[in-house]
Amino acid sequence: MNEAPCIRVVDVHKKFGPLEVLKGVSFDVHRGSVVSMIGASGSGKSTLLRCINYLEVPSAGAIYIEGESLGFQEDAAGRRSARPLRDINRMRRDLGVVFQQYNLWPHMTVLGNIVEAPIRVRGLSRKEAVRVADECLRRVRLSDKAHEYPARLSGGQQQRAAIARALAMRPKVMLFDEPTSSLDPELTDEVLNVMRELAEAGSTMIVVTHEMDFARDVSDRVLFLHDGLIDEEGRPGQVFTAPRSERCRQFLAKYLK
Amino acid sequence: MSEALRQSLDLALFWEYRFVLFGGLLFNAAIFACAAAAALVLGLCAALLRVSLMRPLRWGGTVYVELFRNAPDYVMLVWVHFVLPLLLGLALRTRIEFHPFVSAVVALGLVYSGYFAETFRAGIQAIPKGNIEAGRAVGMSEALILRRITLPQVVWRMLPEALNIFVSLFKATTIVSLIAVPDLMYRVSMVTQQEMRPLPLYTGAALTYFAVILVVATLLRWASERWRRTVLV
Amino acid sequence: MGNWERLVWNQRELLLSGLNVTVEICVLAFVGSVLGGLVLCLIRLYVAPLRPIAILLIEFFRATPIFVQLMWVNYVWPEILGWPNTFFTAGWVALALQSSGYLAETFRTGIEAVPKAHREAGSSLGMSRLLILHRIVMPQALLTAAPSLVNQFTVIVKSSTLVSVITVPDLMFQSQKIVNIWYEPIEVLTATAAIYIALIFLVSQAGKYISDWLRRTFGLHA
């Protein structure tokens, strides 16, 4: 395992108007590890994940991707503003995101969705991109649906296609934002299994989830967020069986009944 | 009464002048083509302004759209043909005159760009935000997202409404006869003055437009529905 | 600017009389088109033997440009039917015909959008078909159609500018008259354009307000 952390989050705050959703979060993610973020709705876990990919701009604090700051510039009033979008987009290529709502583009086939960014953002040739796409489709076991439109697929299939789309960019880190929350219970397993395989293959992953079994069995570290702060963190064995925080204990009691 | 009815349905006169009259239709078509192109481009720009993140741009777009969307075609036509050249002439200290064809294209292009702008805006705002975020998440630039994700979906979604606007625009080209563009209606009135028999000519004109528009509009709608069904959204 | 005063403000009586005529013609045309549209729509839906005629008329009124219809009603109808006998009448009749075609379709959409379940509820209570149509279907259809009705009124106002061509003394006619007296079109035509744009803008804002109110009060319909 690499010594220097892949992702460093340092004292990140995020305000939406008067509401402060993140109140100073810090943690590291090392190459090859799987970090799960759990917590109640409104605890800030999704916002935190979206900050790492710059879909939200933190109000304070810093985020480093492989040592490079996601680059906030401060003006005279201390307000943060974005780095040039070109740089941000360059860094985004190395961060794969899987959304709760899959967000597949409805006017392209599954294959079209997957090859779009590799061709247009990474500049691969179509032939090369399709080769990569086929490999990713195989990994998520969706090869037979390559030429279907997303509307024809079940929720589980769409989410696996979304995972393949993120994988095709060969990201250094995969970010999962409640990937199974929109799925019917029968369909969550197929997605969780794919994620398990990715973890076993050594991917670096940050997963926001309500699936406690997954968090306990697959993660290397678990972060419990409450009210914008990390209330408890550690190895799953410790967090799930003997949490130090009372709130964490109450939260887990509800889920593991 | 039956004599008049018989006369108006006796389209022989209309048929006699058919080359002159149908030649006028070509003018309608030409003005339609140019104005439609202008209206699409201007309408798209105005729609993008209206959904922009910067307030002055949004405001500018709204003013543009409300100004032209609420303007009657005929008023705009007369204003562009008679007033605009004078204003430009004052500004450039010279005497300017617009060729009626140009005035027609500009006037109709501006008015219908207002309608297209509203249509495009509704289409753009109907696209789920998640689609855009997925594009950002893989590092696509805003321009790329617009081109590959937003616009295709806008076109698909708004095609029926856009077709309606096109049909209205074609119908609107009939007023260009009032600034002496030699379209079908203009030639009908010229021939009427010569032959002093308005009944078959105006009836023929009405039937011609009816037939052309009905056939073309139905074909376009059928084709558009077929195309839309092939892209399952 | 002196010109504004001379050409526009001093002529305000003439312009206002023109505006008056415009409003008159538009209101008459609107009422006529609502009635005509309703008749055409109901015949199309419920009077089977006359359905093809209704459909033909609807398509004809929709597909023919308003200017062409205006000329046709003004020059051809008096010869065949002996009516209309004034340009004013020809004006609002032509406008009404064009809009009745569109409104017939609007009403049809509104009627067909009323859920079948509502009709079934009525008949399970023993209501006759006519009663159901009258008390359950039409009210809902009209509510759904209200925003389109307002929109069609703005279309009528915009099309009414063409009646000046058949010498009806509307706002457009009067302003062109002023231009022809003094040969200075800039102020008059710009003021006329502004009046029309403002009028239509106000009507469409009222329409938005009405449809928001309808949505709030009765729930969102198609």
End-to-end Cα spacing for chain A? 35
pLDDT on residue B232: 60
**Cross-strand partners of A204:** A173
Measure the N-to-C terminal CA separation of chain B; round to a whole number of Å.
56
| Per-residue DSSP letter, A83 | P
Please count the other Cβ atoms lying within 10 Å of the Cβ belonging to residue A59: 18
Per the structure block, which two tokens stand in for B24?
């006028």
User: Which of these ranges, A227-231, B12-16, B147-151, C89-93, has the smallest mean pLDDT?
Assistant: B12-16
Measured CA to CA, the distance from residue A106 to residue B127 in angstroms comes to 10
Please say if the pLDDT value at position C222 is more than 50. no
- Give dist(CA A4, CA A30) in Å, integer: 7
- Cβ distance B140 to A121 less than 8 Å, yes or no, reads yes
Q: What pLDDT, in 10s, does the model give residues C65-74?
A: 999 999 999 9
Looking at the partner chain, which of A90, A105, A120 has a beta carbon nearest the beta carbon of B144? A120
Q: How many whole angstroms separate alpha carbon C160 and alpha carbon C45? A: 30
B189, two tokens: 């009135």
- Read off the pTM: 0.80
| Cβ–Cβ under 8 Å, residues A113 and A150 | yes
The full length of chain A comes to 257
pLDDT of residue A1: 47
Q: What is the CATH number of the domain that holds B40?
A: 1.10.3720.10
Confidence label for A177 from pLDDT (cuts 50, 70 and 90): very high
Burial class (CB in 10 A: 0-12, 13-18, 19+), A243: buried
Note which residues in 154-183 of chain A have CB less than 8 A from chain B: 162, 165-166, 169
Which residues fall within 8 angstroms of residue B211, CB to CB, at 6 or more apart? none
Positive or negative, the CA dihedral C208, C213, C216, C222 is: negative
Best residue of A49, A92, A120 to probe chain B, by most B CBs closer than 10 Å: A120
Question: Min CA distance, B175 vs chain C (Å)?
Answer: 7
Q: DSSP for chain B?
A: -HHHHHHHH-THHHHHTHHHHHHHHHHHHHHHHHHHHHHHHHHHHHHHHHT-SSHHHHHHHHHHHHHHHTS-HHHHHHIIIIIHHHHHHHHHTS-----HHHHHHHHHHHHHHHHHHHHHHHHHHTS-HHHHHHHHHTT--HHHHIIIIIHHHHHHHHHHHHHHHHHHHHHHGGGGGGGT--SHHHHHHHHHHHH--HHHHHHHHHHHHHHHHHHHHHHHHHHHHHHHHHS--
Decide if C72 and B205 are in contact by the 8 Å CB cutoff.
yes
Environment class of B102 (CB within 10 Å of its CB; exposed 0-12, middle 13-18, buried 19+): middle
Per-residue model confidence (pLDDT) at position B8: 64
Helix or strand run (H / E) with residue A222:
strand A221-226
Please calculate the CA angle B221-B145-A205 and round it to the nearest 5 degrees.
125
Inspect the interface and report whether the beta carbons of C72 and B7 lie closer than 8 Å.
Answer: no
- Cα distance from B203 to chain C (closest Cα, Å)? 7
Q: What percent of chain A has pLDDT over 70?
A: 94
Closest to A171 (Cα-Cα) out of A104, A223, A122 = A122
Measured between alpha carbons, how far is A229 from A21 in angstroms, rounded to an integer? 9
Quickly state the pLDDT bin for B194 (edges 50, 70, 90). confident
Is the omega angle on the peptide bond into residue C139 within 30 degrees of 0, that is, cis?
no
| Lowest-pLDDT choice from A218-227, B9-18, B157-166, B221-230 | B9-18
Amino acid, single-letter form, for residue A181: S
Interface contacts A/B by beta carbons within 8 Å: 77
Please enumerate in sequence order all residues whose Cβ is within 8 A of that of B118, keeping only pairs 6 or more positions apart, or say none: B47, B65, B69
| Beta-sheet pairing, A229-234 with A7-16 | unpaired
Among residues C198, C189, C151, the alpha carbon closest in space to that of C171 is found at: C189
How far apart are alpha carbons A36 and A214 in whole angstroms? 9
Task: Compute the C-alpha angle A247/A248/A253, nearest 5°.
Answer: 100
Mutate to test the interface with B, among C19, C79, C192 (most CBs of B within 10 A): C79
- Write out the residue range of the structural domain in which residue B160 sits: 2-230
pLDDT given at position C206: 92
CA angle, residues C103, C109, C110, in degrees to nearest 5: 90
Name the residue among B131, B114, B112 with its Cα closest to residue B50. B114
Are C34 and C149 within 8 A, CB to CB?
A: yes
Min Cα distance A251 → chain B (Å) is: 29
Subunits with 3+ Cβ pairs within 8 Å of B are A, C
Pairwise CB contact (< 8 Å): B130 & A90: no
The token pair at C159 is 């099309």
pLDDT, residue A80, reads 62
The dihedrals phi and psi of A38, each to the nearest 5 degrees, come to: -125, 165
* pLDDT tens-digit map of A179-215: 999 898 889 999 999 999 999 998 999 999 988 889 9
Tell me which of A4 and A24 has the higher pLDDT.
Answer: A24
Domains of chain C: 2-218 (1.10.3720.10)
The pLDDT, as a whole number, for residue A196 is 93
Measure the CA angle with vertex A186, ends A182 and A189; round to 5°. 85
Q: Contact, A29 vs A6, CB < 8 A?
A: yes
**Res B214: pLDDT:** 92
3-state secondary structure of A79: coil
Mean pLDDT confidence for A223-248:
90
Q: Is the pLDDT of residue B20 over 70?
A: yes
Domain count, chain B: 1
User: What percentage of chain A has pLDDT greater than the value 90?
Assistant: 48
**Cα C54 from Cα C63, distance rounded (Å):** 14
The residue with greater pLDDT, A225 or B6, is A225
Mean pLDDT across chain B: 91
Amino acid at A3: E
By the 10 Å C-beta count (0-12 exposed, 13-18 middle, 19+ buried), A195 is classed as: buried
| pLDDT, greater one: A121 or C160 | C160
Of B139, B141, B233, the CB nearest to A106: B233
Interface touch C60/B210, C-beta < 8 Å: yes
- DSSP character at residue A173: E
Mean pLDDT of B180-204: 88
ipTM over 0.95: no
Going by their DSSP bridges, the two strands A221-226 and A34-39 should be labelled as parallel
More confident position, C4 or B59: B59
B28 contacts B187 by C-beta, under 8 angstroms: no
**DSSP code at position A31:** T
How close, in Å, is residue A252 to chain B by CA atoms?
A: 30
Q: Each residue of A50-78: pLDDT tens digit?
A: 899 888 888 888 898 887 788 665 566 76
DSSP string for residues in A126-160 = HHHHHHHHHHHHHHTT-GGGTTS-GGGS-HHHHHH
Asked if A25 is an interface residue toward chain B (Cβ–Cβ < 8 A), one would say no
Label residues A110-141 b or e (16+ Cβ within 10 Å = b).
Answer: bbbbbbbbbbbbbebeeeebbebbbebbebbe
CA angle C7, B110, B228 (to 5 degrees): 155
Rg (CA), chain B: 22
